[in-house]
Amino acid sequence: MVGSALVRKLQAEGYSNIIIRTSSELDLRNQAAVADFFAQERPDYVFLAAAKVGGILANNTYRAEFLYDNLLIESNIIHSAYQTEVKKLLFLGSSCIYPKMAPQPLKEEYLLSGYLEPTNEPYAIAKITGIKLCEAYRDQYGCDFISAMPTNLYGPNDNYDLNGSHVLPALIRKFHEAKVNDQPFVEVWGTGSPRREFLHADDLADACFFLMEHYNDELFVNVGTGEDVTIRELAELVKETVGFEGELRWNTEKPDGTPRKLMDVSRLHAMGWKHTTELKEGVERTYQDFLANEVLYVE
């Protein structure tokens, strides 16, 4: 999802020399394969969007893979970028790097000030390591490696597998299928009270491009909208967008995860960047994209 949004952004900016590899073409966990790729292609600028990602259930179930795969992917790429003298690299992390009970909104300096949310601790540890790799290669070797921490993302090419997905695509699929099949209710996980912030992937790509052009510091940068909603409010919004008329049923056997993770985006705003897609419009666009690609998204 993020990779394709970055390609759309770069193409819109007029770039034609974009080097991409799908996961089936290049296994980023393979150190030798990544080293060969960098030695052959010699990219100048690297957007490190690749990661093993998923929603709360996937994070909590595949705890080993979320740690191992992400550590390998980011270590291989960052080290190869150093060895092949990449001019600049942008590493993408996640808002789950912050302590579960950190004050809100989350300021960049709260990193490593408390315990992490248990459901995604392995993923968060991997992402914190990515930040630290960028910092260390900058300190020791002078590499211009920067990091951005996006909030929860959504958009075209999202994952709609109900066991692996994040909440927003899951709700689009569930409400749509319930509407089409005339079902009386939709099951939604948890209590509905956690708060989440959502950023459209195209806005994230725009922010990445902006940071690649304008930012060169060691401290990572939060990327979000600065606004959040409860999961209940999100569910009502998706329900209305899809046009489902049945009821919501809350499955409290499923985890809530962290109670809130609202980004403080004042540093990014002070640099002159702000998102353009508001949640209501973004959900509408994403539902239209889902309808156009349903066969592809739901196998």
* Contacting range for ligand GFB; rule: CB under 6 A; set: 70-78, 100-108, 189-197, 262-270: 189-197
Interface segment toward ligand GFB; rule CB under 6 A; list 10-18, 50-58, 82-90, 271-279: 50-58
Q: Using CB atoms within 10 A of its CB, is residue 292 exposed (0-12), middle (13-18) or buried (19+)?
A: exposed
Tell me which of 123, 137, 154, 160 is the catalytic residue.
123
Among 179, 254, 260, 285, binds ligand GFB (CB under 6 A): 254
CA separation (Å) from 238 to 81, 211, 213, 219, 275? 41, 31, 35, 36, 20
* Contacts with 203 (C-beta within 8 Å, 6 or more apart), sequence order: 225, 275, 276, 277
Among 145, 189, 220, 290, binds ligand GFB (CB under 6 A): 189
- The residue among 75 and 119 lying less far from ligand GFB, judged by its C-beta, is 119
Instruction: Using alpha carbons only, give the angle 241, 245, 249 rounded to the nearest 5 degrees.
Output: 100
Rg for the chain, CA atoms, rounded = 19
Helices assigned H by DSSP within the chain = 2-12, 31-41, 56-61, 63-83, 121-141, 167-180, 201-214, 231-242, 266-271, 279-297
Which of 188, 211, 242, 263 lies at the binding interface for ligand GFB (CB under 6 A)?
A: 188
Q: Which residues contact 240 (CB under 8 A, 6 or more apart)?
A: none
For the bound state, the minimum distance from the C-beta of residue 80 to ligand GFB, rounded and expressed in Å, comes to 25
**Chain center to CA of 196:** 13
194 binds ligand GFB (CB under 6 A): yes
Write the interaction track for ligand GFB spanning residues 138-167; mark x where CB under 6 A is met and - where it is not.
--------------x------------xxx
28, 71 contact by CB (below 8 A): no
Specify the long-range contacts of residues 202-205, CB closer than 8 Å, at least 24 apart: 202/5, 202/8, 202/9, 202/155, 202/277, 203/275, 203/276, 203/277, 204/2, 204/5, 204/150, 204/153, 205/2, 205/5, 205/6, 205/8, 205/9
Q: Residue 95 CB, nearest distance to ligand GFB (Å)?
A: 6
Degrees, nearest 5: CA angle 106-5-228: 30
In angstroms, what is the minimal distance from the CB of 15 to ligand GFB? 28
What is the x/- site pattern for ligand GFB, positions 102-131, by CB under 6 A?
-----------------xx--x--------
Residues from 68 through 97 that contact ligand GFB (CB under 6 A)? 94, 96
Kindly state whether residue 260 participates in binding ligand GFB, applying the rule CB under 6 A. Answer: no
137 catalytically annotated: no
Residue 86 or 265 having the CB closest to ligand GFB: 265
Q: How far is the CB of 59 from ligand GFB (least distance, A)?
A: 4
176 binds ligand GFB (CB under 6 A): no
231 binds ligand GFB (CB under 6 A): yes
Residue 75 or 120 having the CB closest to ligand GFB: 120
End-to-end distance of the chain based on CA atoms, in angstroms? 17
Number of residues that bind ligand GFB (CB under 6 A): 24
Nearest distance, CB of residue 67 and ligand GFB, angstroms: 11
Q: Where do contacts with ligand GFB occur on this chain (CB under 6 A)?
A: 55-57, 59, 94, 96, 119-120, 123, 152, 165-167, 170, 188-190, 194, 196, 231, 254-257
Q: Please identify every residue annotated as catalytic.
A: 123
